[in-house]
Amino acid sequence: MKKTGVQHRITRVYLLQLLLISLATVLGVWATANIIEQVLVKQALIKEAEHYWSLLDENPTQPRPNTRHLLGLLTSEDVKDDIPQVLQSLPDGYQRADLAGERPIVYIERQGDARLYLIFDEQRVSVLAFLFGILPLTGVLLVIYITSFLGWKKSRDLLSPLVQLADRLRHTPVEDPSVARPDLSGIDADTDSEVAVLVAALDAYADRLVSFVERERQFTRDASHELRTPLAVFRANLELLVSQIGDRPLIRRMEDTVEDMEATLETLLMLARTEQRQPESEDVIVNDLAVNLMERLSPLADRKQIRLQVRQTALLTVHSPEVALTIVLTNLVRNAINYSGSGDVTILVAEKTVHVVDYGAGMDADELARILKPFERGQSQEAGHGLGLAIVQRLCERYHWHLMVTSAPGRGTEVAIRFS
């Protein structure tokens, strides 16, 4: 049980409640005992002494108090009771004295040459107080403790399904959509309880969410496959048109657009496959991947009169699926070629980081803020679908890579990926 969990908080409240009850009881008993001793017993002995002096004035042979709890001793000209030495040395007033191994309460009062000693035996009174006070109080405390414990136990039982539910959701790997559906079948909740309703609602929501994700994947796969055929027909007709009328700038632009669409469809299809079946990670040498990528995209760069180059300042190896890393770098370099307009596009392989730099028109702050959203494109007139950087960001989040984009109008754009 986590220390921040609701069950732990309830346990702390329960223990604090018992501590406060016990502390209040101890303070109450202590205060009551002091009040009885310092006020009630003291006043009773003072009144007892006054009463005895008044009786002694009326009857010089008045006997001293001698009951089960109170003993009176007197020394005067006529009466010489046997006073213990320890009491003779005590001053007048209310006090305790060490007498025969006990500490009774003693009240001493002088009147003329007579001195009265009232010795109160509180031990016997304490037994009565225990029988008629402490035992009932103990019973009340036991009832309070037992009911508090039962309430604490019942609250734990009621919250146990909620804690199980939170634990299941906490340990559900939401990063992987293929296993993101939590298993809520083992949660023990009373029928028609709020927790049972919550579990049923979450279970139904998980079913709808998984169904939605599966439909999205299926659509991506089907759309990618279905759109390949018309693109292939379109490309064949463009080649036929080139053979008939020759190469023209308009036809070249149409060929580039078809190539971009084919690359986008291939990326979506690969992305759908990686989400359905997580590819195994391996040690990928990014330097080799960057060189292969430059060779593959050089025809596209040549048609746009862009020089594509690779610079290497370190040997970079990344443990990840090669297909995911290929998708990311391909989209970044293709975007840089499409939107740079002219000049150079550089792939820089550095320590733990890959940079893709172009020297095109660049972007301002507002454009840079929305460029990572799906279907958002820069202000360039080049054809595109606004999916490249969104796909890159999606894969970077999945594999915990840090994506950084910096740009300025007229200075180009730099996209960097830092691998953890």
- Same domain, yes or no: 284 and 370: yes
pLDDT in tens, 102-136: 888 899 999 888 999 999 877 666 665 566 666 77
In which band, very low, low, confident or very high, does the pLDDT at 278 lie, cut at 50, 70 and 90? low
Same-domain status, 212 and 311: no
| Residue 353 vs residue 298, higher pLDDT | 353
Tell me how many domains the chain contains: 3
Q: What is the pLDDT of residues 49-101, one digit of tens each?
A: 999 999 988 888 888 888 878 889 999 888 888 888 888 889 999 888 888 77
Tokens of 152: 């604490």
* Last residue of one domain, picked from the residues 128, 159, 193: 128
Q: Is residue 405 part of a domain?
A: yes
Between CA 215 and CA 228 the distance in angstroms is 20
User: How is residue 224 written in tokens?
Assistant: 């990618």
The answer to whether residues 253 and 288 belong to one domain is no
User: What CATH number corresponds to the domain at position 370?
Assistant: 3.30.565.10
Lowest-pLDDT range, 274-278, 290-294, 343-347?
274-278
pLDDT tens string 237-269: 888 888 888 877 777 778 777 776 777 777 667
Q: Is 145 among the domain residues?
A: no
Tokens of 390: 């969104």
User: Is 207 inside any structural domain?
Assistant: yes
CATH number of the domain residue 195 falls in: 1.10.287
pLDDT band at residue 375 using 50, 70 and 90 as cut-offs: very low
Judge if 290 and 234 occupy the same domain: no
What does 115-184 look like in DSSP terms, one character per residue? EEEEEE-HHHHHHHHIIIIIHHHHHHHHHHHHHHHHHHHHHHHHHHHHHHHHHHHHTS-TT-GGG-S---
- Residue 322: how many CB atoms within 10 A of its CB? 16
* Domain-embedded: residue 394: yes
Instruction: Identify which of 267, 331, 250 has the alpha carbon closest to the alpha carbon of residue 297.
Output: 331
**Inside any domain, residue 154:** no
- Give yes or no: residues 202 and 231 share one domain: yes
Point out the domain boundary residue: 104, 128, 152. Answer: 128
Which band of pLDDT confidence, cut at 50, 70 and 90, is reported for residue 317?
very high
Q: Do 339 and 383 lie in a common domain? A: yes
* Pair (195, 323) in one structural domain: no
pLDDT for 315 equals 93
Q: What percent of the chain has pLDDT over 70?
A: 80
- Cα dihedral: 189, 192, 196, 201 (round 10): 170
User: Are 118 and 63 in the same domain?
Assistant: yes
Q: Which domain holds residue 85?
A: 6-128
pTM over 0.75: no
Are 263 and 284 found together in one domain?
no
Write down which residue in 268, 303, 333 finishes a domain.
268
Say if residue 339 is in the same domain as residue 241.
no
pLDDT of residue 279: 67
Instruction: Average the pLDDT over each of 117-121, 192-196, 412-416 and give the range with the smallest value.
Output: 192-196
**414, part of any domain:** yes
pLDDT band, very low/low/confident/very high, at 19 (cuts 50, 70, 90):
confident
Residue 162 lies in a domain: no
Instruction: Based on the fold, state whether residues 184 and 224 are members of the same structural domain.
Output: yes
Domain match, 256 and 315 both: no
Query: Residue 388 falls within a domain, yes or no?
Result: yes
